[in-house]
């Protein structure tokens, strides 16, 4: 088994309707270092972003804590906490999905930035749409 590099990786997300795409993303992130910290968006922060989650924050954080790739889960409460978290947790790598490419490049002065491609054909938004369509069809 290959030794993982000595690095702390930090990422953020909502992680609603936890699915295989989430697991695959976390696995890739974990391979980048020896410690993976995940900031999970709180319900209040999601409301500020206009997002409504199916699963409340505590449930999403519990699922993340149970994932073997994740070493620590922290609440994501605002856009501007990322720089502070990088310093607090001595993160070497800040990684996000490619749909966020270049959005956080201002953090390159404190850590390495990595944008990973999302898993093809798996999307929380798509899952929610399918569930709603099925519910409408059942009426």
Reading the chain (139 residues) residue by residue, the pLDDT tens digits are 566 789 999 999 999 888 888 899 999 999 999 999 999 999 999 999 998 888 999 999 999 999 999 999 999 999 999 999 999 999 999 999 888 899 999 999 999 999 998 776 665 556 556 555 665 666 7
Question: So what's the pLDDT on residue 136?
Answer: 61
User: Is the separation of the CB atoms in 33 and 7 below 8 Å?
Assistant: yes
Q: CB-based burial of residue 63 (10 Å sphere; 0-12 exposed, 13-18 middle, 19+ buried)?
A: middle
Strand order in the sheet with 93-97: 72-76, 35-41, 8-13, 93-97, 112-116
The 10s digit of each residue's pLDDT in 67-102 is 999 999 999 999 999 999 999 999 999 999 888 899
Question: So what's the pLDDT on residue 131?
Answer: 54
Question: So what's the pLDDT on residue 117?
Answer: 86
Question: So what's the pLDDT on residue 2?
Answer: 61
Q: How far, in Å, CA of 77 to CA of 46, rounded?
A: 9
Based on the residue annotation, tell me whether 51 is a catalytic residue of this protein: yes
Based on the residue annotation, tell me whether 139 is a catalytic residue of this protein: no
Question: So what's the pLDDT on residue 40?
Answer: 98
Q: Note the pTM of the prediction, 2 decimals.
A: 0.85
């Amino acid at each position: 088994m290959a030794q993982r590099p000595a690095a702390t990786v930090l990422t953020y997300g909502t992680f609603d309707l936890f699915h295989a795409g989430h697991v695959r993303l976390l696995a890739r992130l974990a391979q980048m270092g020896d410690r993976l910290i995940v900031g999970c968006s709180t319900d209040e922060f999601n409301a500020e972003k206009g997002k409504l989650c199916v699963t409340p924050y505590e449930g999403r954080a519990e699922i993340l804590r149970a994932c073997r790739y994740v070493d620590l889960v922290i609440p994501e409460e605002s856009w501007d906490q990322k720089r502070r978290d990088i310093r607090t947790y001595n993160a070497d790598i800040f990684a996000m999905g490619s749909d966020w490419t270049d959005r956080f490049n201002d953090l390159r002065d404190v850590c390495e930035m990595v944008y990973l491609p999302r898993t093809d054909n798996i999307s929380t938004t798509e899952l929610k749409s399918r569930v709603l369509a099925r519910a409408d069809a059942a009426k």
